[in-house]
Amino acid sequence: MDGDQILEPNLYTIKALLILDSDGERLIAKYFDDTFGSVKEQKSFERNLFAKTTKASGGEIILIDGLTCVYRSNVELFFYVAGSSQENEIILTQVLNCLYESVQTFLGKAFEKRNFLDNLDSAFLVVDEIVDGGVICELDSDVVTQRASIRHSDEQIPLGEQTVAQVLQSAKEQLKWSLLK
- Tens digits of residue pLDDT in 40-62: 999 999 999 999 998 765 568 99
Whether 138 shows a pLDDT value over 50: the answer reads yes
Q: What is the distance between the alpha carbons of residues 142 and 165, in angstroms, rounded to a whole number?
A: 26
- For the chain, what percent of residues have pLDDT higher than 90? 51
Whether 153 shows a pLDDT value over 50: the answer reads no
H-only helix segments in the chain: 39-54, 89-107, 113-118, 120-130, 141-147, 164-180
The predicted pLDDT at position 28 comes to: 95
Q: Give the three-state DSSP class for 155.
A: coil
The predicted pLDDT at position 161 comes to: 53
Q: What is the distance between the alpha carbons of residues 4 and 27, in angstroms, rounded to a whole number?
A: 39
What CATH topology corresponds to 14-150? Answer: Beta-Lactamase (3.30.450)
The predicted pLDDT at position 57 comes to: 58
The predicted pLDDT at position 136 comes to: 93
Q: What is the distance between the alpha carbons of residues 167 and 174, in angstroms, rounded to a whole number?
A: 11
The predicted pLDDT at position 56 comes to: 66
pTM of the model: 0.77
How many residues are listed for the chain in this entry? Answer: 181
Q: What is the distance between the alpha carbons of residues 89 and 148, in angstroms, rounded to a whole number?
A: 26
Helices (H) and strands (E) in the chain, counts: 6, 7
- Of 103, 93, 95, whose CA–CA distance to 20 is shortest? 103
Q: Locate the domains of the chain by residue range.
A: 14-150, 155-181
DSSP secondary structure letter of residue 75: S
* Contact yes or no for 95/68 (Cβ under 8 A): no
The predicted pLDDT at position 72 comes to: 92
Per the prediction, the chain carries an average pLDDT of 84
